[in-house]
Amino acid sequence: MSDAVSAVVNLDLEGPTINRHVYGHFAEHLGRCIYGGFYVGEDSDIPNEGGIRLDVVEALRALDIPNLRWPGGCFADEYHWMDGIGPKSERAAMINTHWGGVEENNHFGTHEFMALCELLGTEPYISGNVGSGTVREMSEWVEYLTSDGDSPMVRLRKANGRDEPWKVKYWGLGNETWGCGGNMSAEQYALEARKYATYCRDYGDNKLYRIAAGAADFNFEWTKTLMEQLSHIGCQRVERPLYQAISVHYYTIAGTWGDKGSATEFDTDEYYTTMAKAARTDELLTGHANVMDLYDPKKEIGIVLDEWGTWWNVEPGTNPGFLYQQNTLRDALVAGLHFDIFHRHADRLVMANIAQTVNVLQAMILTDPDSGALVKTPTYHVFEMNKGHQDASSLEVFTPSGLPTRQVGEGELSTLSVSASRKDGKALFSLSNLDAEGAVEIDLDLRGGSLTEVSSRVLTGEALQTHNTPDEPEAIAPRSHDGVTATGKGLRVRVPAHSFVTVEGRIA
Ligand code: AHR
């Protein structure tokens, strides 16, 4: 083990608040995310409420998930919400062309989604259809959900059993409109977004937070075009921006889109490549934020990273359109690294949604299609261990002599990642040691206060490939960590090889 890394943290110098919505989630009508994952129908043997799996709800409630994005993804731009309301036996079916060509019976629709959000205690984030829908269709969906007046949509909602309007704040104006959401140019979409934003109205005290469909990866030009179109209507400056945020999507893949690599069978080089790709999220957010700063120096328009996470080849033998993948310690470290980056971008990043919550891509929960057994993934545990950062004040972690690094391809990867925050008189530190083989020690030089009642947890496994299964559901689970010792100036933390560690203490 090399010498300890030193880090200075001023416990009394509070940075921007870490929006709890960066711990957001995503549920698409894709593979077994909704059907079999969240929803099994009222007649299932699996305990459910209105068809919603109660074991999944219970597991997710422990994460305090702040929001859930639905119904897509690419599916959103083929979704016609009116097909998913009213008696289930009368709902129109459709083919889910993007995801496996399977039949979608629309049994999980608006009312079921809102019931799920209520059970989870989370805020809905609805992604509207711009690709194949109409302005009227989206406008009426907002009215159906949120209006308290007397109108055809409200009467329809009441006829379907819901008298009170729901509260829906987060509203997406399309998804990946450069691709599956309509193959538009940035200019074309920017004009569309103006129209959609205009007719997605605020009813009563329900104020929509409109999220324009943003760029893929590092396409800063897209963000520039949306920012240009946002701040001017005709030749007049708008009072309130037409949309309150712009999204961006960025996935971590070790290989190519054609061959993304296996979720469980990878070597150490592939592991480091994965980490280097994940670390680029910092460059991604910095780049988009820099463009936005030019048009919005007061940072009133947010960035919403509403799809992020690892994307591997599907598990052998599963439907290629279902995007079902295993989840190992490597995925957990990708999540830990992302959160540190999110915390550092708290001034502009207002929301992030991991893709996706159950049974799809970098999931929190995997359910067995035969036995129904539920498994919490390593990624689940990172969300749980980090939940104390939600709505906390970020604390800068200053490392005067730098962090340990390693050459990966053309670039350098910092193999230790740290972030910190304070809330309710407590400080929380998250530390990811990305080094596959060596432990690292870090001296936290704490200024402006000290810590009492210190506790620590560690998430690691025998190998980078370790994962949980129904037979071994706790191969990776957080354990109490005894690697923290008091020093004259603060704390020394030992972070084992390939591990994620949290340290918490009361600020005195
Ligand atoms: O999350 C899976 C898919 O990835 C989404 O449907 C789409 O928006 C993105 O390309």
Indicate if 344 and 446 belong to the same structural domain. no
Which residues are 249's β-sheet partners?
Answer: 216, 307
Question: What's the rounded Cα separation, in Å, for the pair 500 and 484?
Answer: 14
Residue in 279, 346, 361, 356 with CA at minimum distance from that of residue 315: 361
17-29: per-residue pLDDT in tens? 999 999 999 999 9
Query: Given 360, 389, 418, which residue is the final one in a domain?
Result: 389
Q: Rounded to the nearest whole angstrom, what is the distance from the C-alpha of residue 253 to the centroid of ligand 1?
A: 14
Closest ligand 1 atom to 76 CA: 6
Other CB atoms within a 10 A radius of the CB of residue 59 amount to: 18
Angle between helices 329-344 and 378-385 (to 10 degrees): 30
Other CB atoms within a 10 A radius of the CB of residue 47 amount to: 12
CB of 73 shorter than 6 A to ligand 1: yes
Q: Please tell me the pTM assigned to this model.
A: 0.97
Q: Is residue 441 annotated as part of the catalytic site, yes or no?
A: no
Task: Report the domain count for the chain.
Answer: 2
For CA atoms 326, 181, 21, 372, give the dihedral sign.
negative
Closest ligand 1 atom to 98 CA: 6
Predicted pLDDT at 23 = 98
Indicate if 230 and 174 belong to the same structural domain. yes
Question: What is the CATH classification number for the domain harbouring 208?
Answer: 3.20.20.80
The DSSP result for 28-84, as a single string, is -SSTTSTBTTTB--TT-SS-EETTEEHHHHHHHHTTT--EEEES-SGGGGG--GGGG
Ranges of the chain with pLDDT below 50: 234-235
Predicted pLDDT at 239 = 62
CA atoms within 13 A on the CB side of 52: 20
Report which protein residue has its CA nearest ligand 1's atom 9: 73
Indicate if 218 and 117 belong to the same structural domain. yes
Which residues are 187's β-sheet partners?
Answer: none
CB of 340 shorter than 6 A to ligand 1: no
- In terms of DSSP bridges, do strands 5-10 and 25-26 run parallel, antiparallel, or are they unpaired? unpaired
Question: What is the CATH classification number for the domain harbouring 502?
Answer: 2.60.40.1180
301-339: per-residue pLDDT in tens? 999 999 999 999 999 999 999 999 999 999 999 999 999
145, part of any domain: yes
Indicate if 291 and 351 belong to the same structural domain. yes
422, part of any domain: yes
Predicted pLDDT at 5 = 96
| Residue 367 in tokens | 């359910």
Indicate if 279 and 315 belong to the same structural domain. yes
Q: Is residue 176 annotated as part of the catalytic site, yes or no?
A: yes
Range of the domain at 405: 5-11+395-507
Question: What's the rounded Cα separation, in Å, for the pair 170 and 67?
Answer: 9
Query: Given 389, 420, 453, which residue is the final one in a domain?
Result: 389
**Ligand 1: which of 307, 324, 356 to mutate, judged by most atoms within 8 Å of the beta carbon?**
307
